[in-house]
């Protein structure tokens, strides 16, 4: 069940101000008396709070990892998932109404991952959680988990950073920028103030296509689609370069773009993408090693071996910068970056052994 917590006003890292912030979250299990069993799960770029299914609800995106009897056992742990500040799954974001009842749109301020951590720390206060047993997440969720451990040392006992880096790389920023422009160049974007008109679904769909290619490996796309034409459409090849049907991979990406545009707000997509582009755990803290020097948390770092967006080497660099020796657990999956969602059971055993064994 989606719940909402009013956390008050928030001054943001780059100077913006939000007068009245509400965070949407879901929770599973029961907080124990000394509040030592709380686990925070951070979603990725387009994920929601719906990590795991409840009694009779729809599937969660990490059902394989979180639930009764699972590694993150909701019979033993109090699990919380928060929609990131600026998102579109219930928390205050660009599509929310301001005090005058107008959507924030283009006036919504720049939000960094550190801002989202500070907001979530207020939620933790309201929930009576002084320190998380574990904070974990993949991709943007990994950046959020890492920032939690550094921004709030002492409030994170264990931290799992999956398929994520210490800082967004030039290439990650470059792919992000192409996605931002795809949205901003959609005539329906209207500078971000489109809530009373048509939404920029074409731009958002194109952004998702660009992103989705980076989330999958070359080998997966080749294996699944090759040069196949999309079934039941005009044949390819003989009719080129005139009217033609689509390659199957084009049809697949069109589907992915349409699907995302049907469930996500373009301004939130921009905001969260920019937040991720700004991710740099060392910003204002010296080197990465210096930034991590005082973290108290025990770390679990994982990467996907076929990830061409968040390279395994970057996870190794992050692990090497931690004060305590930490291996990188490798998820072996041909799919690419999305392997942290599709093959998550591969981190279940090591996470159970390291973090979630019997209390």
Ligand X SMILES: CC(=O)SCCNC(=O)CCNC(=O)[C@H](O)C(C)(C)COP(=O)(O)OP(=O)(O)OC[C@H]1O[C@@H](n2cnc3c(N)ncnc32)[C@H](O)[C@@H]1OP(=O)(O)O
Active-site residue set: 139, 307, 337
Q: Which stretch binds ligand X (CB under 6 A): 9-17, 106-114, 246-254, 285-293?
A: 246-254
Q: Three-state SS across 128-179? A: CCCCECEEEEECHHHHHHHHHHHHCCCCECEEEEECCCCECCHHHHHHHHHH
Q: Is 265 annotated as a binding residue?
A: no
Regarding 189 and contact with ligand X (CB under 6 A), the answer is: no
Among ligand X, ligand HSE, none, what does residue 263 contact (CB within 5–8 Å per kind)?
Answer: ligand X
Identify the residue among 50, 76, 144, 208 touching ligand X (CB under 6 A). 50
Contact 299, 159 (CB under 8 A): yes
CB of 312 to ligand HSE, least distance (A): 15
- In angstroms, the CA 48 to CA 147 distance is 19
CB of 175 to ligand X, least distance (A): 16
Distance, in Å, from the CA atom of 193 to the CA atom of 267, rounded to the nearest integer, reads: 9
CB of residue 279 to ligand HSE, shortest distance in Å: 12
Among 139, 217, 251, 315, binds ligand HSE (CB under 6 A): 139
What is the C-alpha to C-alpha distance for residues 180 and 212, in angstroms, rounded to an integer? 14
CA separation for the pair 123, 76 (Å, rounded): 21
265 binds ligand HSE (CB under 6 A): no
Token pair of 53 as six digits: 């299914």
**346 counts as binding ligand HSE under rule CB under 6 A:** no
Determine, following the binding rule CB under 6 A, whether residue 45 of this chain makes contact with ligand HSE: yes
Judged by CB, which is closer to ligand X: 4, or 263? 263
Q: Which is nearer to ligand HSE, 45 or 160 (CB)?
A: 45
Q: Which two tokens stand for residue 345?
A: 């059971």
List Cβ neighbours of 96 (8 Å cut-off, separation of 6 or more): 22, 103, 104
Among ligand HSE, ligand X, none, what binds residue 314 when CB lies within 5 to 8 Å by partner kind?
none
341 binds ligand X (CB under 6 A): yes
44 lies in the binding site for ligand HSE (CB under 6 A):
yes
Pairing of strands 72-73, 66-67: parallel
Q: Is 351 in the site for ligand X (CB under 6 A)?
A: no
Q: At what angle do helices 170-184 and 266-277 cross, to 10 degrees?
A: 160
Token pair belonging to 230: 């999309």
Q: Is the dihedral of CA 89, 94, 98, 101 positive or negative?
A: negative
Residue 263 known to bind ligand: no
Residues making up the annotated binding site are 208, 338
Q: Which residues bind ligand HSE (CB under 6 A)?
A: 44-47, 139, 215, 337-338
Residues making up the annotated binding site for substrate are 208, 338
């Amino acid at each position: 069940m989606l719940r909402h917590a009013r956390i008050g006003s928030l001054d943001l890292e780059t100077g913006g101000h939000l007068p009245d912030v509400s965070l949407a979250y879901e929770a599973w299990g029961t907080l124990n008396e000394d509040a030592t069993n709380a686990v925070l799960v951070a979603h990725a770029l387009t994920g929601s709070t719906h990590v795991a299914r409840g009694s009779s609800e729809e599937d969660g995106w990490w059902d394989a990892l979180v639930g009764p009897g699972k590694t993150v056992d909701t019979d033993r742990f109090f699990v919380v998932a928060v929609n990131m500040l600026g998102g579109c799954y219930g928390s205050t974001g660009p599509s929310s109404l301001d005090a005058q009842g107008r959507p924030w749109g283009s006036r919504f301020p720049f939000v960094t991952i550190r801002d989202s951590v500070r907001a979530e720390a207020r939620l933790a206060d309201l929930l009576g959680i002084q320190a998380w047993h574990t904070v974990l997440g993949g991709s943007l969720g990994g950046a959020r988990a890492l920032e939690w451990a550094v921004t709030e040392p002492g409030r994170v006992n264990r931290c799992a950073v999956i398929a994520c880096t210490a800082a967004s790389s030039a290439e990650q920023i470059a792919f992000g920028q192409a996605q931002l422009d795809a949205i901003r160049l959609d005539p329906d974007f209207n500078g971000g103030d489109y809530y009373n008109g048509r939404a920029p679904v074409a731009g958002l769909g194109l952004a998702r296509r660009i992103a989705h290619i980076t989330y999958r490996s070359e080998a997966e796309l080749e294996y699944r689609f090759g040069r196949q034409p999309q079934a039941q459409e005009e044949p390819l090849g003989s009719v080129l370069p005139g009217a033609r049907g689509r390659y199957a991979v084009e049809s697949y990406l069109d589907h992915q773009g349409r699907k995302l545009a049907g469930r996500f707000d373009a301004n939130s997509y921009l905001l969260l993408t920019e937040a991720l582009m700004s991710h740099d755990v060392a910003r204002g803290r010296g080197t990465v090693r210096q930034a991590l020097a005082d973290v108290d948390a025990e770390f679990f770092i994982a990467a996907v071996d076929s990830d061409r967006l968040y390279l395994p080497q970057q996870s190794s660099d992050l692990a090497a910068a931690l004060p305590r020796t930490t291996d990188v657990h490798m998820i072996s999956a041909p799919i690419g970056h999305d392997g942290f969602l599709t093959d998550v059971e591969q981190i279940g055993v090591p996470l159970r052994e390291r973090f979630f064994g019997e209390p």
